[in-house]
Copies of this chain bind each other. A is one copy, B any other.
Amino acid sequence: MTTPFASEQEHQPLKVALLGCGNVGSQVARILLQDADSLAARTGARLELIGIAVRRLEAPREVPLPAELFTTDAESLVKEADLVIELLGGIEPARSLIQTAIAHGACVVSANKALLAAEGPALYEQADAAGVQLSYEAAVAGAIPILRPIRDSLSGDKITRVLGIVNGTTNYILDQMDSTGADFATALAEAQRLGYAEADPTADVEGHDAAAKAAILASLSFHTRFALPDVHCEGISSISAADIEAAKEAGLVIKLLAIAEKSQSADGLAGVSVRVHPTLLPREHPLAAVRGAFNAVFIEAEYAGELMFYGQGAGGNPTASAVLGDLVSAARRIVLGGPGRTETTTGQVAALGIDQVQTSYCIGLTVTDQPGVLAQITQIFATHEVSIETMRQTIHHGEAGEPSYAELRIVTHRAVESALASTVQKIRELPVITGVTSVLRVEGI
């Protein structure tokens, strides 16, 4: 049998440096040691873990690992390595260490979505110039192979839209609210108790984590570099049990989606809208069935049509799976020769601001029950050229002495975000309006 892994190449040693030894890093180290033989067989190289850089040598570890592997001198470790796995998170010292690794000719595997969303372009250029591979499958949607399919498998197609559930914490919270009727605070506390949410949950619940992933997904999908400032971001902390209940009644479910889509602004500029916000989805949509802390990415492409990728978005072992996939690919590339390639930037489309996006609103209102109210409201929609798709009115008859009032639920057709926002603003100012109970965007219909 002929294979490119001739015996003299077999078990060529490659030095692996691991930066960080938390939840994911400790599993990566364990698997590198435990599966050494099968990884060598699959890679054509012996992946030698030469050291693990940590901040504190004496910190407790989830997995027993040989003490002699640990070091606090990350800089020296990186300079010796052929392959560097960066699992530190945050901007510094991760960025400097990756730059040192690339400068020394090492391939880099990173799961650092914050760094890549903020500083990715400079790092990709540096890696391309050095002819080394910088891969980061684990940075988006944990174990789910999503970046490689977008970059390679769909490279002959044209992606038109990406909708992703890319934050397990918020999906768990929204799913709990949906299935138990709990309010946000209760569901968050439960998520914290189970370890799905951190003590300070801001990065998750305010959508910052999802926004970093949206920037990375958009960059690969549209062959254009998008960074965090290009991403409009709203979190889920304002979602109420009533919002969830109303969505349920309408056959919808609320999900925090990372969205990147080809779009046209009001003045006809073609571009890409990248945004994260709570979104109403029909319950039959494939993403609606993604429960608990799972992640999924739904892609629409011109030729492939609809695709969905589903799996675990976080956790030590699932994320380690993605890290090791990148590591084995980089090692194979070193063994077989040939340069790596991180991304392409042949698209060069504009990032559209949230104001320019075409979207659809679901607006919940309470109004005084008197003649002419609906006419006043619909007139405002007409003035802003926002067309109403459905309107549902529920009259509440007041008890003795109380005035009666009505609840309105209006779903619009797709319209420019700025027109929708001004419509809502004008409606708020109407004297007959007693409350705007919710304003949520709708997708998937």
CB-based contact B145/A325 at 8 Å? no
8 Å CB interface, A294-331 against B: 301-312, 315, 317-318, 320-329
CB-based contact B310/A311 at 8 Å? no
| Any B CB within 8 A of the CB of A39 | yes
Q: Return A1 CB to nearest CB of chain B, in Å.
A: 6
Q: Return A252 CB to nearest CB of chain B, in Å.
A: 18
| Any B CB within 8 A of the CB of A282 | no
Q: Return A318 CB to nearest CB of chain B, in Å.
A: 5
Q: Which listed segment binds B: A63-71, A154-162, A375-383?
A: A154-162
Q: Which of A42, A137, A157, A289 has the most CB of B within 10 A?
A: A157
| Any B CB within 8 A of the CB of A234 | no
Known: A2-B125, A156-B328, A346-B38. A312 touches B321 (CB 8 A): no
| Any B CB within 8 A of the CB of A341 | yes
CB-based contact B129/A2 at 8 Å? yes
Q: List the number of copies, as a whole number.
A: 2
CB-based contact B157/A153 at 8 Å? no
In the bound assembly, the distance between CA atoms of A345 and B1 in angstroms comes to: 10
Task: Give the contacting residue for A154; candidates B31, B154, B321; CB below 8 A.
Answer: B321
| Any B CB within 8 A of the CB of A4 | yes
Task: Give the contacting residue for A341; candidates B305, B323, B336; CB below 8 A.
Answer: B336
Known: A2-B125, A4-B128, A303-B320. A327 touches B156 (CB 8 A): yes
| Any B CB within 8 A of the CB of A389 | no
| Any B CB within 8 A of the CB of A7 | no
Q: Return A52 CB to nearest CB of chain B, in Å.
A: 17
In the bound assembly, the distance between CA atoms of A244 and B301 in angstroms comes to: 34
Which residues of chain B come closer than 8 Å to A3, judged between CB atoms?
125, 128, 344-345
Known: A38-B158, A154-B145. A27 touches B303 (CB 8 A): yes
CB-based contact A153/B2 at 8 Å? no
Q: List the 3 shortest-distance A-B pairs measured between CB atoms, nearest first.
A: A338-B338, A156-B324, A145-B153
